[in-house]
Structure 1
Amino acid sequence: MDKQAFFQDFQQKVSDLLKSSPAADIERNVKALAAQTFNKLELVSREEFDIQVALVQSLAARVDALEARLAAREGTQSTPADGTNA
């Protein structure tokens, strides 16, 4: 038996042993627990986070522009046309 075949056979036997041992059950339970915990945390991907940041920045810029337009209109409308204070 050559070295390559020996190592492959050894690796397969160790893998089979681990699959049939309680370690496999523990691994599945830990993975399930981790997945459940991550779902409760409501995590988002980095891509989704970056999209939301860009959206918020865009909306903040629009709010600033609208506030500036409103301030300009209020400035022109605050002086009465007939010269009296209302």
Structure 2
Amino acid sequence: MFDPKKLEQVAKQIHDAMPQPVKDLGADVEQKVRQVIQGQLNKLDVVSREEFDVQTQVLLRTREKLTQLEAKLTELEDKLSQQDK
């Protein structure tokens, strides 16, 4: 769901910002930071970029179809009102 490279960058930045004694606790500190970040991101109500792009395209096609149907309805209403005259 999230770009692993960006997650790695954030985890590395956090790890680099830690004081040296904390870094000395072990090599798995960065892994733990990454796990915490991933866990928190998973709790968010977000969608992937791919999902967003797909839904954007669906919305655009739906809007286009709605515009066509509105035009057709207007045309039919005009024909109906001309027949009533």
Deviation at 1:36, TM superposition (A): 1.6
> Greater Rg, structure 1 or structure 2?
1
Give the TM-score normalised by structure 1.
Answer: 0.55
The percentage of aligned residue pairs carrying the same residue is 34
Q: Which has the higher contact order (CA 8 A, sep 6+)?
A: 2
* 2:25 paired residue number: 22
Query: What's the C-alpha RMSD, in Å, of the aligned pairs?
Result: 2.2
Instruction: Report the CA distance between 1:22 and its aligned residue.
Output: 2.6
Any gaps of 5 or more consecutive residues in structure 1?
A: 1-20
Bigger mean CA offset, 60-69 vs 32-41: 32-41
Deviations 1:30-78 (A, max 9, x none): 1121112211223333322221111111111001001111111111223
Match of 1:46? 49
Which amino acid counterpart does residue 47 of structure 1 have in structure 2? E
| TM-score normalised according to structure 2 size | 0.56
